[in-house]
Amino acid sequence: MVGTDPRDPTASTLEGGLTRSRGGFMSRLRGLLGGAEPAPEAWDGVEEALIAGDVGAQLAGRIVERARMRGDGASAGERVRLELAALLAPRDPDWDLRPAVVGQPTIILVVGVNGTGKTTTIGKLAARERRAGRRVILAAADTFRAAAIEQLRAWADRSGADVVAHAPGADPGAVVYDALDAAVARGADVVIADTAGRLHTKAHLMDELAKVRRIIERRLPGSAPETLFVLDATTGQNGLAQARAFNEAVGLTGVVLTKLDSTARGGIVFAIEDQLRIPVRFIGVGEGIDDLLPFDPARFVDALFEAGA
Ligand X SMILES: Nc1nc2c(ncn2[C@@H]2O[C@H](COP(=O)(O)OP(=O)(O)O)[C@@H](O)[C@H]2O)c(=O)[nH]1
Number of shown-chain residues binding Mg ion (CB under 5 A)? 2
Task: In angstroms, give the least distance from the CB of 46 to ligand X.
Answer: 28
Q: What does residue 303 show for φ and ψ, rounded to 5 degrees? A: -65, -35
SS3 108: strand
- The site partner of 259 among ligand X, Mg ion, none (C-beta below 5 to 8 Å per kind) is ligand X
- Which of 16, 198, 172 is closest to 116 using CA atoms? 198
- Which of 216, 307, 197, 201 is closest to 258 using CA atoms? 197
29 with 46: CB under 8 angstroms?
yes
Name which of 247 and 258 has its Cβ closer to ligand X: 258
Contact between 291 and ligand X by CB under 6 A: the answer reads yes
Contact between 35 and ligand X by CB under 6 A: the answer reads no
Contact between 197 and ligand X by CB under 6 A: the answer reads yes
Contact between 56 and ligand X by CB under 6 A: the answer reads no
Binding-site member from 104, 106, 116, 227 for ligand X (CB under 6 A)? 116
49 with 38: CB under 8 angstroms?
no
Structure-derived torsion over alpha carbons of residues 270, 276, 279, 280, reported in degrees to the nearest 10: -60
Number of shown-chain residues binding ligand X (CB under 6 A)? 19
- Which of 226, 236, 227 is closest to 269 using CA atoms? 236
Contact between 208 and ligand X by CB under 6 A: the answer reads no
Contact between 119 and Mg ion by CB under 5 A: the answer reads yes
Task: In angstroms, give the least distance from the CB of 133 to ligand X.
Answer: 25
Number of residue whose CB is nearest ligand X: 284
CA-CA distances (angstroms) from residue 244 to 119, 195, 229, 237, 250? 21, 18, 10, 12, 10
Taking the C-alpha atoms of residue 8 and residue 55, their distance in angstroms, rounded to an integer, is 33
Q: 219 to 278, contacts with ligand X by CB under 6 A?
A: 230, 258-259, 261-262
Number of residue whose CB is nearest Mg ion: 119
What is the distance of C-alpha 45 from the center of its chain?
A: 29
Name which of 120 and 227 has its Cβ closer to ligand X: 120
DSSP state of 306: S
Binding-site member from 120, 159, 227, 263 for ligand X (CB under 6 A)? 120
Contact between 10 and ligand X by CB under 6 A: the answer reads no
Contact between 143 and Mg ion by CB under 5 A: the answer reads no
Contact between 121 and Mg ion by CB under 5 A: the answer reads no
Question: Could you list the residues that contact ligand X (CB under 6 A)?
Answer: 112, 114-120, 197, 230, 258-259, 261-262, 284-287, 291
